[in-house]
């Protein structure tokens, strides 16, 4: 103990002595005088980045974001440290070159933001056809006076150089070891700063950084320079991935499809909807387990219940997403391909050729469009919806977004649908047939803006008859205050908005010749413990039942995995009571949607990886990107190498092996198709 005390005292003494020396010898002043260029370089780099956030993101917590400023400073210190390797007379040119590069990054992003309300991506450079369309507009309309501000960085640096040069404060000679020492000590400071920065990061920061789907968030937390470096790596990675292994991939691809017929197999649903208009709803985080669920006799999802009751309801349906969540579902829904092994197809492979559902409708003379009231660059949709063949993508800029109508990520679903009906009416008056996808937004994690969802309650109200003949209402909290409970409130909001949308479409006569299709895009990623509470709540204790209770319902990790089902519904307003009004209980995945719809609307993709569900009834395998799979009989978890029988029959090793082989092959072919652009006929001819 004494030794520790002595050690601390010694340390405090040495620090004090050090600061005394610093003061006495005017070391700080001296440091400033000797390192003017380095310090000015840091100042200008951080200034430009802060001003960029100021111009783009307006709120003070954005442009004065501590994390972003620390990240920008760290980048500047690390880059600046290498300047010390140059001889003093050349050092200025080193700083100037980097100052110009970093200022250019700010300038380009500033101009890009004005036009697209998002930050620039290196990968956009490959979308030459797209840039061609907007190139002139950029020069004429977009480069504004404010974008020239960033020139100030290099100008200040030049000014500082001239001043110290005049006063001959620039040390002319510095031996090599002295330069190296300066570099290493400055670099060490930079690395310590980087370490301090990293420990301030939350797990949300890290996942968003990896996914690159919300560029504003990344710039706000990581600063513009780290964002751009990350973007550069993400943009180059697909190029590197596609450099090796083309021949093997092409051969596997050819083998996989060599026995595929050129014409589709027909069944009783062939062409039943040919020529009809289509509305597709991308139901954000809509899950099957909420269908039919009630609290105090009020339905959580009255609209989904109605659609599933009256339409064709696929109740054993799974989305097949990886880290690209919404965007992965959009990929699989539109192309019958699986998400890529690394990165996301939307962000990294938007320049590939896709055989997509909108393209088939385009060929049939339909006007195809997509609508989403969030920023167009979220998930890189602006580029990717173009690649998928949508003729027009209506995004945030096409909607009137008033502050009071914002929930979570953007315009609330009620308002989104209201404004979309008007757009669809216009489209309908100008086009004989049309196909449109509407991507919902409000029911998005974290489901925390509870006061904006309305007054749907997730408690249990009980009326108790008292001995004196009077009645008392007792309220049990049940799901109130839980994440799952908040999810139900949010979902109820979204569902009611959807119901209003259908009513408005009907009133506008837009449902008369229209097929309405809805899919849940992925599960809502809710805690398992909350499901335990949902299924095992005891009103006598207001707590979860004990697992020894005979009515206790086990909700283990398998139940959780299997409970991640999302709804898939095909509905028209005159389907109820017809032979199309049915529940399909066969296991089905998002990958099966394109071939199933293709058969109904009269198109065929020879290269779809899924199946028309009506051709494989009772014999379908749904593959997940992580190698898990599910059939009507078995759920298989590839990480654990364990399976669960769904029909109480023993599971044979052959059964597992056969499906594991199928899974691995399908995932490999899908990934290679995207990475090596194997649907690109031109490219494949020359290679």
Provide, rounded to whole angstroms, the least separation between the CB of residue 589 and ligand GP9. Answer: 18
482 binds Mn ion (CB under 5 A): no
* Residue closest to 260 by CA, chosen among 629, 660, 607, 647: 607
Q: Cβ closer to ligand GP9: 420 or 428?
A: 420
H/E stretch holding 43: helix 36-57
CB 356, CB 388: distance < 8 Å: yes
Helices (H), 554-652: 557-562, 593-601
Q: Which stretch binds ligand GP9 (CB under 6 A): 16-24, 291-299, 439-447, 471-479?
A: 439-447
For residues 355 and 334, give the distance between their C-alpha atoms in angstroms, rounded to a whole number: 8
Please, are residues 74 and 194 in contact by the beta-carbon 8 Å criterion? yes
- Which positions from 131 through 170 interact with Mn ion, judged by CB under 5 A? none
From 678, 579, 684, select the one nearest 256 (Cα to Cα): 678
Closer Cβ to Mn ion, 284 or 586, answer by number:
284
- CA dist 414 and 237 (Å) reads 39
What is the C-alpha to C-alpha distance for residues 108 and 475, in angstroms, rounded to an integer?
58
Least distance to Mn ion from the beta carbon of 325, Å? 5
Do 218 and 71 meet the contact criterion of CB atoms below 8 Å apart? no
Least Å distance between CB 83 and ligand GP9? 41
For 382-398, what is the HEC assignment?
A: HHHHHHCCCCEEECHHH
- Please give the Cα distance from 361 to 603 (Å, whole number): 8
Q: Which does 374 bind (CB under 5 to 8 A by kind): Mn ion, ligand GP9, none?
A: ligand GP9
CB of 677 to ligand GP9, least distance (A): 24
378 binds, among ligand GP9, Mn ion, none (CB under 5 to 8 A by kind): ligand GP9
Q: How far is the CB of 441 from ligand GP9 (least distance, A)?
A: 6
The verdict on 326 binding Mn ion (CB under 5 A) reads yes
Residues from 634 through 653 that contact ligand GP9 (CB under 6 A)? none
399 binds, among Mn ion, ligand GP9, none (CB under 5 to 8 A by kind): none
308 binds ligand GP9 (CB under 6 A): no
| Closer CB to ligand GP9, 91 or 282, in the complex | 282
318 in Cβ contact with 631 (< 8 Å): no
Q: CA–CA separation, 648 vs 333, rounded Å?
A: 32
The size of the interface with ligand GP9 (CB under 6 A), counted in residues, is 9
User: Are the CB atoms for 485 and 458 separated by under 8 Å?
Assistant: yes
Integer CA distances (angstroms), 335 to 175, 356, 357, 458, 604, in order? 63, 5, 6, 38, 11
| Tokens read off for 529 | 């413990």
Q: Considering beta carbons, is residue 35 or 285 the nearer one to Mn ion?
A: 285
Q: DSSP code of 167?
A: T
Q: Report the nearest approach of Mn ion to the CB of residue 522 (Å).
A: 6
Name the token pair of 132: 């061609």
Residue with smaller CB distance to ligand GP9, 91 or 221: 221
Rounding to the nearest 10 degrees, give the CA dihedral for residues 173, 175, 180, 183. -20
Rounded CA-CA distance 530/341 in Å is 31
Pick the closer one to ligand GP9 by CB: 325 or 621. Answer: 325
- In whole angstroms, the minimum distance from the beta carbon of 518 to ligand GP9 comes to 15
Instruction: State the minimum distance, in angstroms, from the CB of residue 216 to Mn ion.
Output: 18
CA angle 283, 287, 290 (to 5 degrees): 120
Among 113, 96, 213, CA closest to 154 = 96
Q: Please say which residue, 256 or 378, places its beta carbon nearer to ligand GP9.
A: 378
Contacts of Mn ion in 518-577 (CB under 5 A): 521
Q: Find, among 188, 156, 185, 166, the residue nearest to 74 by Cα.
A: 188
Segment interacting with ligand GP9 (CB under 6 A) among 139-147, 230-238, 374-382, 584-592: 374-382
Give yes or no for residue 413 binding Mn ion (CB under 5 A). no
Among residues 207 and 578, whose Cβ is nearest to Mn ion? Answer: 207
Least distance from ligand GP9 to the Cβ atom of residue 12, Å: 50
Figure out which of the listed residues 334, 374, 536, 673 binds ligand GP9, where binding follows CB under 6 A: 374
Q: How far is the CB of 25 from ligand GP9 (least distance, A)?
A: 56
Least distance from Mn ion to the Cβ atom of residue 352, Å: 22
Identify which of residues 284 and 504 has a Cβ nearer to Mn ion in the complex. 284
Stretch touching ligand GP9 by CB under 6 A, among 35-43, 63-71, 373-381, 386-394: 373-381
Quote the least distance from Cβ 379 to Mn ion, whole Å. 9
Residues 517 and 307: their CA atoms lie apart, in Å, by 10
Does 326 participate in binding ligand GP9 (rule CB under 6 A)? yes
**Could you give the angle at which helices 215-241 and 66-81 cross, rounded to 10 degrees?**
50
Positions in 403-422 near ligand GP9 (CB under 6 A): 409
Q: Which of 182, 385, 444, 545 binds ligand GP9 (CB under 6 A)?
A: 444
**Residue 428 binding: pick among Mn ion, ligand GP9, none (C-beta 5-8 Å cut-off by kind):** none
Show the binding pattern over residues 490-529: x = contacts Mn ion (CB under 5 A), - = does not.
-------------------------------x--------
Q: Compose the 173-192 pattern: x for residues touching ligand GP9 by CB under 6 A, - for all others.
A: --------------------
How many residues bind Mn ion (CB under 5 A)? The answer is 4
Which residue in the block uniquely carries the two structure tokens 């009571």? 577
Asked if 352 contacts 674 with a C-beta cutoff of 8 angstroms, the reply is yes
The number of residues in the chain equals 687
To Mn ion, the closest distance from the beta carbon of 284 in angstroms equals 5
**Binds ligand GP9 (CB under 6 A): choice among 378, 390, 417, 447:** 378
Nearer to Mn ion, 72 or 521 (CB): 521
Per partner kind, with CB cut-offs from 5 to 8 A, the member of ligand GP9, Mn ion, none near residue 489 is none
Residue in 333, 330, 334, 340 with CA at minimum distance from that of residue 354? 334
3-state secondary structure (DSSP) of residue 307: helix
The answer to the question of residue 91 lying near ligand GP9 (CB under 6 A) is no
Q: Which is nearer to Mn ion, 150 or 378 (CB)?
A: 378
Cβ 261 vs Cβ 498: under 8 Å: no
Q: Are 153 and 99 in contact (CB under 8 A)?
A: yes
Least separation in angstroms between CB 330 and Mn ion: 9
CB within 8 Å of 465: residues ≥ 6 apart: 471
CA proximity to 501, closest of 280, 277, 273: 280
Q: In angstroms, give the least distance from the CB of 411 to ligand GP9.
A: 11
The pair of three-digit structure tokens given for residue 209, joined into one six-digit string: 């950084």
Residue 325 interacting with ligand GP9 (CB under 6 A): yes
Residue 326 or 514 having the CB closest to Mn ion:
326
Q: What is the DSSP string of 52-75?
A: HHHHHH-SHHHHT-HHHHHHHHHH
Residues that bind Mn ion (CB under 5 A): 284, 325-326, 521
Task: Please give the residue ranges that form the binding site for ligand GP9 (CB under 6 A).
Answer: 325-326, 374, 378-379, 409, 439, 441, 444
């Amino acid at each position: 103990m004494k030794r520790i005390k002595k050690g601390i005292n010694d340390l405090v003494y040495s620090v004090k002595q050090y600061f005394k020396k610093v003061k006495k010898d005017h070391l700080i002043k001296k440091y400033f005088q000797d390192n003017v260029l380095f310090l000015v370089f840091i100042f200008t780099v951080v200034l430009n980045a802060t001003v960029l956030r100021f111009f783009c993101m307006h709120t003070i917590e954005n442009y004065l974001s501590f994390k972003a400023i620390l990240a920008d400073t760290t980048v500047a210190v690390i880059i600046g440290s290498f300047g010390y390797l140059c001889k003093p007379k050349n050092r200025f040119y080193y700083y100037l070159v980097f100052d110009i590069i970093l200022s250019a990054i700010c300038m380009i992003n500033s101009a890009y933001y004005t036009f697209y309300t998002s930050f620039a991506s290196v990968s956009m450079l490959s979308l030459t056809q797209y840039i061609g369309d907007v190139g002139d507009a950029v020069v004429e309309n977009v480069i504004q006076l404010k974008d020239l501000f960033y020139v100030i960085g290099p100008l200040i640096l030049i000014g500082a150089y001239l001043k110290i040069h005049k006063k001959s404060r620039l040390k002319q000679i510095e031996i090599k070891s002295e330069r190296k020492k300066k570099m290493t000590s400055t670099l060490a400071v930079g690395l310590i700063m980087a370490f301090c920065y990293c420990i301030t990061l939350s797990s949300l920061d890290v996942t968003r950084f990896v996914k690159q789907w919300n560029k504003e968030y990344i710039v706000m937390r990581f600063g513009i320079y780290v964002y751009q470096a990350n973007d550069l790596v993400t943009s180059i990675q697909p190029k590197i991935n596609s450099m090796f292994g083309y021949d093997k991939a092409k051969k596997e691809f050819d083998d996989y499809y060599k026995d595929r017929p050129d014409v589709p197999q027909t069944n009783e649903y062939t062409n039943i909807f040919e020529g009809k208009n289509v509305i597709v709803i991308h139901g954000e985080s809509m899950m099957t387990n909420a269908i039919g669920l009630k609290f105090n006799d009020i339905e959580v999802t009255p609209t989904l219940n109605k659609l599933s009751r009256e339409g064709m309801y696929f109740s054993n349906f799974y989305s097949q997403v990886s880290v690209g969540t919404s965007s992965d579902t959009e990929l699989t829904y539109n192309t019958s391909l699986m998400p890529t092994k690394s990165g996301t197809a939307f962000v990294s492979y938007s320049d590939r050729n896709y055989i997509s559902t909108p393209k088939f409708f385009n060929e049939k003379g339909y006007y195809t469009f997509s609508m989403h009231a969030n920023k167009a660059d979220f998930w890189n949709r602006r580029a990717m919806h173009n690649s998928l063949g949508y003729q027009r993508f209506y995004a945030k800029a096409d909607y009137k977004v008033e502050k009071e109508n914002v929930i979570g990520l953007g315009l609330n679903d009620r308002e989104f649908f209201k404004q979309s009906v008007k757009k669809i009416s216009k489209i309908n008056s100008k086009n004989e047939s049309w196909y449109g996808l509407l991507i919902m937004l409000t029911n998005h994690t974290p489901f925390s803006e509870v006061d904006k969802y309305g007054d749907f309650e997730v408690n249990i109200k009980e009326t108790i008859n008292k001995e004196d003949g009077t009645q008392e209402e007792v309220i049990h909290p049940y799901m109130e205050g839980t994440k799952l409970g908040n999810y139900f409130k949010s979902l109820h909001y979204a569902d009611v908005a959807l119901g209003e949308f259908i009513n408005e479409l009907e009133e506008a006569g837009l449902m008369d010749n229209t097929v309405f299709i809805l899919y849940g895009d992925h599960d809502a990623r809710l805690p398992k413990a909350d499901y335990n509470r949902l299924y095992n709540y005891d009103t006598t204790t207001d707590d979860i039942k004990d697992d020894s209770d005979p009515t206790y319902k086990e909700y283990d990790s398998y139940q959780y995995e299997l409970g991640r089902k999302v709804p898939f519904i095909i509905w028209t307003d005159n389907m109820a009571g017809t032979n199309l009004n049915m529940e399909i209980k066969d296991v089905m995945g998002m990958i099966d949607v394109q071939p199933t719809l293709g058969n109904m609307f009269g198109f065929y993709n020879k290269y779809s990886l899924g199946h028309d569900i009506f051709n494989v009834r009772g014999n379908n395998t749904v593959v997940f990107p992580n190698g898990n799979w599910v059939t009507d009989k078995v759920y298989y978890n590839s990480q654990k190498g364990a399976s669960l029988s769904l029909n109480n029959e023993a599971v044979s090793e052959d059964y597992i092996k056969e499906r594991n082989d199928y899974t691995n092959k399908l995932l490999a072919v899908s990934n290679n198709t995207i990475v090596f652009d194997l649907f690109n006929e031109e490219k494949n001819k020359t290679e």
